[in-house]
Structure formats: C-alpha cells, structure tokens
Amino acid sequence: MALRVAVTGPTGEIGISTIEALEAHPEVTQIVGMARRPFDPAERGWKKTVYRQGDVLDRDAVDALVADADVVVHLAFVIMGTREESAKVNLAGTRNVFEATVAGGPRRLVYTSSVAAYGYHTDNPVPITEDVPTRGTPEHYYSEQKAACEEALAETTAGSSLEVYVLRPCIVAGPKAPALAEAMPWNHLPGAVRRLMQAVPVLKPPMPDPGTPVQLVHHDDVASAIALAVTTTTAPPGAYNIAGDGLLTFSDVGKALGARPIRVPHVAAVATSEVLARLPSVPSALEWLHAGRASTVMDTSKAKNQLGWQPQHTAAETLAALANTVG
C-alpha cells in the first residue's frame, strides 16, 4: 500500500517525531506538512516530506493540504496561550480540518485529542477507559476546547465513510518535547541563578504535590501510536488512550525538574480549583491548576491490544530523559 499523508502541525513537539515515524514507514510514500512558521524538511534529512507554510484558519489552505492525501493527521493546536487566542485556532481551525477532510478525498483522519478531553471530574473512573464521556472541564480552556473538538469531530463526520482514529495522550515529554520543563517558571531564570538554586536545596522553588498521580508518555511513543493509526488495517477506528507505563507523583516531576516538592492535602488542590472556578476572570495559565483536582489516570490496554501499540519508554524513563535534556 502506498500512502500519502497530510499533517497539520508537523513542526511541534509531537509533529517532529510523527514525521520521523512516518518517514521511516515503508508504506508511507509521501508526506505533506503544514504549519505557520518557515521550516525546511531537508535540514532534518527528511526525504518523503514537503512542507508548506499555512494556517489552519485558512480554509483554502486546508483544502489544498488534504486534497491529494489518503490520510490526514491533525496535530495543529495552541496548547499554552490565552483562552481567547487558543479558541480561534483550536475550535475554528480544527473544524476547518475536520470539514475539509470529510469534504475532500482522504479516507482516514487521525486526530490527537488529549486526556484533558475527559475533564478533571472526581466521578471519573480510575483508570479511565475510552468509553468514558469526554465532558471536559469548562474552567480550563484547554480541557474545554479538547472536549468541544471531539464533539465537533463526531458532528462533522457523522454519516460519512471517513475512518476516524482519535488518540488521547497524557502529558508528552522527552528530549524533543521539553514543554513540561519549560512550563516551570524557574527554568527561565539565568543559568547562574538556576545553578545556585540547585546547589542550595532551601532555595529550590516549592512544588505542591496534592497526591494526584501523573502519567507521562514519550514523544516517540506517541509518534509510533500515530503511525499505527495511519497505517493499521486491523485496528478499528475509534478512540485510544495513550500513556507510558507506570505512575509518577507531582513530587517525582518536581524533583526531576529542579523543584522542592511539598506534599499538600488533596482537599487543598480541590479547594484551590473551586475558588479559581468561581472567580470572574483568571489568567489562562492559572487554569492549568484545575488539572491537579482529580485523577485522570488512563487505561491504555485498548491501544495495546487493538492498535498493537507498545510504548518503549516508561513514564519514569520519559521523565529522566526530559530532566537530562534540560538539566
């Protein structure tokens, strides 16, 4: 089988690894990537990939991107941004991609949703399986938008013959996905200050640990899941949870990334989240605090048993690889 694949967001943390996995796949013969920044695939030694600069908000550009593709992989998204700015790209841009794919010739769509689509609800089961509704958490823009995109996907593709694969990864990390480390404010301090903080433990910034477990997945393992979703002839369309094996704590993450973990009662995390939810206006960055409110540990057995996915890195190995890169 000779597959032509169109990818939105090939320059991002997941995008780079995804293109590498698709480049290495014998059945993928042609890849067209589109994002806004200038980018040269040849600099990475990619042979099958052509890149065009474009915005998913531009429907003509999206139509042209998907026109000759057998499979569309939609990765373009704004993760860290304001509620208002991210909504434009994430809702209108994503809808453009879904509608263009249904209207055009591709037979398959692979969309990376997120664990955040489930929302941080105390009545979510532990672990979460794919049949749990993606309710989102309205107070957290990213979670709300991920849930809205899944709803838009179901609505846009209803009645069409498109094969739709939805991957729901947990937090992605690793040497080529440093966003988790970059989200820690102290990692933006000058090197000398950071070294001093690391040398004197009391100077390390505190990191609250409300006891909520954390899953991590390596960028190459997400890429291999996407490549499987693009090429599988046996796994049924549908949703697949994606997370590395093993659970971490906020303390593990804090320690690895240079903080001084402080155990706080879980009720404190819930109370903080509830207070934030009641405030009339909250900076978008603070909305991420809602993520500590409830367990969102996912069951990944469907991806392993049906998609044939086998992560090569545990959550702990992924964290160590990230810490080595930023350390």
User: Per CB under 6 A, does 174 bind ligand NAP?
Assistant: no
> Which region among 70-78, 98-106, 190-198, 202-210 touches ligand NAP (by CB under 6 A)?
70-78
Contact pick of 7, 14, 73, 207 for ligand NAP (by CB under 6 A) = 14
> Which region among 169-177, 262-270, 281-289, 300-308 touches ligand NAP (by CB under 6 A)?
169-177
Q: Specify the 3-state DSSP secondary structure of 232.
A: coil
Single out the residue of 185, 224, 168 nearest to residue 24, CA to CA.
Answer: 224
Handedness of CA 317, 319, 325, 327 (dihedral sign): negative
User: Per CB under 6 A, does 56 bind ligand NAP?
Assistant: yes
Nearer to ligand NAP, 150 or 197 (CB): 150
Contact pick of 172, 228, 270, 298 for ligand NAP (by CB under 6 A) = 172
Contact pick of 28, 69, 76, 164 for ligand NAP (by CB under 6 A) = 76
Single out the residue of 80, 321, 110, 62 nearest to residue 223, CA to CA.
Answer: 110
Max distance between CA atoms of the chain, in angstroms, equals 61
Q: In residues, how long is the chain?
A: 327
User: Per CB under 6 A, does 57 bind ligand NAP?
Assistant: yes
Measured distance CA(84)–CA(69) in Å, rounded: 31
Measured distance CA(243)–CA(318) in Å, rounded: 11
Nearer to ligand NAP, 114 or 212 (CB): 114
* Ordered alpha helix ranges (H), 132-235: 141-157, 179-182, 191-199, 219-231
Phi, then psi, of 237 in degrees rounded to 5: -55, 160
> Which region among 53-61, 124-132, 201-209, 225-233 touches ligand NAP (by CB under 6 A)?
53-61
> Which region among 69-77, 120-128, 182-190, 291-299 touches ligand NAP (by CB under 6 A)?
69-77
The least distance separating ligand NAP from the CB of residue 77, rounded to whole angstroms, comes to 3
Nearer to ligand NAP, 14 or 259 (CB): 14
> Which region among 4-12, 270-278, 295-303, 311-319 touches ligand NAP (by CB under 6 A)?
4-12
- From the centroid of its chain, how far is CA 221? 12
- From the centroid of its chain, how far is CA 216? 11
Place of tokens 């006891």: 211
Measured distance CA(218)–CA(177) in Å, rounded: 8
User: Per CB under 6 A, does 9 bind ligand NAP?
Assistant: yes
Contact pick of 49, 101, 112, 231 for ligand NAP (by CB under 6 A) = 112
Q: CB neighbours of 190 closer than 8 A, spacing ≥ 6?
A: none
Residue type, 17: S
| Nearest residue to ligand NAP, by Cβ distance, number only | 12
The least distance separating ligand NAP from the CB of residue 259, rounded to whole angstroms, comes to 19
**What are the residues facing 144 on neighbouring strands?**
none
Place of tokens 């090429």: 231
Contact pick of 77, 98, 165, 250 for ligand NAP (by CB under 6 A) = 77
Nearer to ligand NAP, 99 or 266 (CB): 99
User: Per CB under 6 A, does 163 bind ligand NAP?
Assistant: no
Measured distance CA(30)–CA(127) in Å, rounded: 38
Q: Which residues are near ligand NAP by CB under 6 A?
A: 8-9, 11-15, 35-37, 55-57, 75-79, 89, 93, 112, 114, 169, 171-172, 179
